[in-house]
Amino acid sequence: MTATFTRRAGLALIAALALSQAASAQSAFPDRAITLVIPFAAGGSTDLVGRVVAERMSEQLGQQVIVQNVGGAGGSLGATQVAEADPDGYTILMGTVATHALNPLILSEKPYDPVADFAPVSLLVLVPNVLAVHPDVPATTVQELIDLAKSEPMSYASSGNATPLHLSGELFKSMAGVDITHIPYKGSGPALTDVLGNQVPMIFDNLPSASAHISSGKLRAIGVTTAERSPAFPDVPAIAETLPGYETYSWNALFAPAGTPPEVVDTLAKAAQSAMADPKVAEKMATFSATIVGSGPDELAQHVAAEMTKWKPVVEGANVSME
């Protein structure tokens, strides 16, 4: 009996130690560096936001958050990498409207499910887009531009097929009742170059990348795509002031792989929210014309569902698809 009792006691002690170690490991998250996958090349607005957030979250979590740029396929390569990563919180994604609303609707082969394959963490910021024209275009308001487009052929540039900016133009076409031709480019840079040179009269672009040209007078901002005016350009009206209900924007949000423990998601969300509440981060985001949200996981899940609902008829109406 004594030997059996001792053996049982030993087994119980081992089990208790294992449970204690497991609980300690969970409570200690993170105990090593976290990789934040940016699904686009360095230098874009998503990369800029991601690096600011990663730096501040590193301070909050006591472990380095390392940025890894994984560009390609409109953000799908990086998103797929995170969807297939271990669900332990050590690999997370800077998701966007492209990765979690447009690509799942546009791609003929779906490399991931934007809902089933991810655990929402936090909606960080909203970034306005802008409709701008070359100064030689004889329109200074949204209504004047609509009237002009109805009277003569016009085209608009964007950073590429099936991008949020392309679809911002398609939504504008649909709501304004105009037939403007889309001219896709391989990125915002070459698109802006041709609009600045008046090879194409108008462009839908992210406000941060177009802002310097607007401020210098090389481009004329006609309207921002958010429901309300941007604090960075308060004199530029929202397109919605002329076309009620028009609203598009880029956004950045954190996602973990599906199956990540709730307590780990909660730790990441609190670190992200704390980062977005930092005055220095707010000041930096203002230079990107970004509006801070800093939501929790539930709010981000609702946001993704609403974005997919909004964009589905636009994608179908524009007959946009990608291999």
- What is the value of pTM for the model shown? 0.79
From residue 185, give the alpha-carbon distance in Å to each of 90, 200, 238: 35, 11, 25
CATH 3.40.190.150 location in the chain: 29-126+249-318
In angstroms, rounded to a whole number, what is the distance separating the alpha carbons of residues 55 and 95?
17
Per-residue pLDDT at 54 exceeds 60? yes
CB atoms within 10 A of CB 141: 13
% of the chain residues with pLDDT over 90: 69
Higher pLDDT, 311 or 20: 311
In angstroms, rounded to a whole number, what is the distance separating the alpha carbons of residues 244 and 65?
41
Q: On the CB side of 156, how many CA atoms lie within 13 Å of its CA?
A: 26
Q: What pLDDT was estimated at residue 25?
A: 43
Q: What pLDDT was estimated at residue 20?
A: 47
Write the pLDDT tens digit of every residue in 141-160.
999 999 999 999 999 999 88
Q: Which helix (H) or strand (E) holds 162?
A: none
- The pLDDT mean for the chain works out to 89
Q: What pLDDT was estimated at residue 5?
A: 42
The answer to whether domain 128-241 has CATH 3.40.190.10 is yes
CATH 3.40.190.10 location in the chain: 128-241
In contact, 130 and 223? CB cutoff 8 Å? yes
- CATH fold for the domain made of 29-126+249-318: D-Maltodextrin-Binding Protein; domain 2 (3.40.190)
